[in-house]
Structure 1
Amino acid sequence: MLPELLTLFHVLSGTLCVGAGGIAFLAPKGRPVHRAAGTVFLVSMLATALSGAVIGVLEPARLLITAFAGLLAAYLVLTGWRTARWRTGRPGGFEWVALVAILAGTAGLATLAVLALQTETGRLLGFAGEDYAMLAMMSALGAVADLTLLIRGPLSPRHRIARHLWRMGLAFFIAVGSFFTGPGARVFPEALRESGLLSLPEGLTALLILLFLVRTLFKRSRRDPGAAS
């Protein structure tokens, strides 16, 4: 009974997460709509991530990867949310705790990827080694960025926004993938699933993340047109 209720909660919160994330992503940044949708995205993303993690722990033989994906998604939105609320751009104890957590997740995913690739089928606990490796690389990206931040110190306002953007964006990408081509795809007709069209939202999301990052990092300042990006 508990796994079924958790799964229902996971699906409903994930659906809300995708909708709110899309609005926050496309709305003018800093405006009330963006902030409201971002708050809904944060809460619903944490709900779906943590419920997914619990489901993965309860059913490790079938969904262990979900536990790691949930950890990664929660890490991304929490560190992204935290970054948006910095006033000095200076990291603190929260970032050290987050670094330890994501390093543990990266090590676990890398181990599963190696074990899966060593099997005859290239799969372990229902998933391909490449699936574990992809999540491991995402986790490693966050860990490297955190370690660099902790060594170098405060970020400039522009890089603080970029850090917030790519972390929230990557979490949204994970949610979109889970909904359209992952477990959530079961709500769509089989013909649509087999058409390949459901992979388009993932590609579009990735493209938008890159475009917003480029605009954030390389757009010239209005106050100083000659400023380096």
Structure 2
Amino acid sequence: MLLPIHVVAGGLAIVLGAVALLAKKGGTVHRRGGVLFVWSMLVMGITASVLGLRRGPGDLVAGLLAAYFAGTAWTTVRPTSPWTRRINGSALAVAVGLALLMLAGGVKFINTPGLNSAGVPFRTIGVMSLVIATLLLVAAAGDLRIMRSGMPRGGPRLARHLWRMCFALLIAAGSFFSIRERVAKVLPEPFTSAPMRALPILLLLGTMLYWLWRIQGRRTLPVPVRHDRAGSAARAGANAWRESPG
């Protein structure tokens, strides 16, 4: 029963992530789409991790990565509280553990000749493992910094939220578009070629870099965080986003 839940959650995550990324920043669609995206990613990541216990370590690691980046992106724009601190502390442990696992696996695969069952060279897998491990260590350093000094404000806080959300979406999109058979079940033949399957990934990376460039230097820009039931802080943050570039 977990596989259908995983597939549906992954599909919803891709759609909702695209909606949140393209919607007007700070608006209702952006906020609600982002929250639904996070929950979809958590469901997708948890089910992938459970399935990975039987199918192999690759699914397990990918599931934990998706849950880690989506979860920490969400806590970035939430008011600081004891439970967000606990989540960030647990996330830090997950990031460090995954980084060490990816480093060990990367070194092993780089020194392993031949191809895996999918026809991918083990050395290529090793290089990608080291790249992801490096990214996780950078993310873990950011987690440690906010645990010691508190959550940043303005541009740095938005950048942390943005790149982690985008990387979580990249995991979901890459899981789908990287396999031709999966794409062929949903999209017509012209969209199953390698260039067309790579296009969404490139567009996502380009969009992430674009927004990171647009928000750089916005050091005093407030973050749209809801502090009360009336949502006054959310409305103030939404107005700030509307006044920002883009």
TM-score (structure 2 length as normaliser): 0.77
2:170–2:201 Cα contact (<8 Å) kept: yes
List alignment gaps of at least 5 residues for structure 1.
224-229
Deviation at 1:123, TM superposition (A): 4.8
1:36 to 32, 35, 38: 32
Q: Which residue of 1 aligns with 2:92?
A: 99
1:125–1:132: structure 2 CA closer, same or farther, 3 Å change rule? farther
Which position in structure 2 is the counterpart of 1:227? none
Pick one of 169, 173, 180 that aligns with 1:172: 169
Give 3-state SS (helix, strand or coil) of 1:86's partner: coil
Aligned-pair distance for 1:194?
3.7
Tell me if the contact between 2:156 and 2:219 (Cα under 8 Å) persists in the aligned partners: no
Aligned to 1:9: 5
Tell me, yes or no, if structure 1 residue 47 matches structure 2 residue 43.
yes
Q: Aligned ranges for residues 54-203 of structure 1 at < 5 Å?
A: 54-60=50-56, 64-86=57-79, 92-121=85-114, 123=116, 128-182=125-179, 184-185=182-183, 187=185, 188=187, 192-203=191-202
Deviation at 1:106, TM superposition (A): 0.8
**More displaced 10-residue stretch of structure 1: 207-216 or 5-14:** 5-14
Distance 2:115 2:144 in 1: 32
Kindly tell me: are residues 68 and 160 of structure 1, through their superposed partners in 2, closer, same or farther at Cα, counting changes over 3 Å? same
TM-fit CA distance, 1:216: 1.4
- Is 2:16–2:33's contact at 8 Å kept on the other side of the alignment? yes
Aligned-residue identity in percent: 31
My pick for the range that moved more, 124-133 or 211-220, is 124-133
Q: Which residue identity does 1:70 align to in structure 2?
A: G
Partners of 1:54 and 1:186 lie apart in 2 by: 26
Runs of 4+ in structure 1 off by over 6 angstroms are 124-127, 220-223
CA separation of 1:66 and 1:148: change in aligned 2, threshold 3 A = same
Partner-residue secondary structure (3-state), 2:216: helix
Change (3 A) 1:130 1:18: same
- 8 Å CA contact retained: 2:73, 2:165: yes
Name the counterpart of 1:19: 15
Instruction: Provide TM-score, normalisation by structure 1.
Output: 0.82
Say if 1:50 and 1:70, in contact at 8 Å, map to a contact too: yes
**Long gaps (5+) in structure 2:** 222-239, 241-246
Q: How many residues get paired?
A: 214
Return 152-161 or 45-54, whichever deviates more.
152-161
Cα distance in 2, alignment partners of residues 132 and 47 from structure 1: 24
Distance 1:108 1:25, change over 3 A: same
